[in-house]
Amino acid sequence: MSIFITQAQFGWGVKGGLTMGRVNLNLDDNLSGQYNLGGHAGVFCRIGDKMIAFQPELMFIQKGVYINDVKSDDYSQTTLNYLELPILARASLNLKAVEIYFNAGAYGSYLLSSK
C-alpha cells in the first residue's frame, strides 16, 4: 500500500505492508519450513515525469524464517530487522483504463537487529 503526494517533477509518499518469508528444507525430513510474517514501512520520493522517473526509498523491513521439527514440539524462529535503501528506475505505460509501471534497480541494506 502506498500514499503518494506529487508536485511538478517531484513527489513523495509513504508505503507499507506485510512480508512473508519461507524456507524449503530438503536436508532433513523431520524439519518443516513455515511462513514467518513480518512487515515493511518507509518513505520514497519520485523525481521525473509520468513516463520515466528515479525513485529512491528508505525502508524498514522485517525478514525471517520459522522452522518446525515435525517429530517434536521444537521450533526455531528468526526475525531480522533491516534498514534498506532501494534506488529504482521507474517506467510507466498509461493505458486508458489502467496505468502499468515497472521498477528496476538495486538496494543496500543494514542489519539493525536479529532475534
The three-class DSSP label of residue 13 is strand
Interatomic CA distance for residues 27 and 32, integer angstroms: 10
Per-residue pLDDT reduced to its tens digit, 12-62: 999 999 988 766 666 666 666 677 788 999 999 999 988 899 999 999 999
Beta bridge partners, 4, equal 13
β-strand partners of 30: none
- On average, the pLDDT of the chain sits at 84
C-alpha cell at 90: 521507474
The distance of Cα 31 from the centroid of its chain, to the nearest Å, equals 27
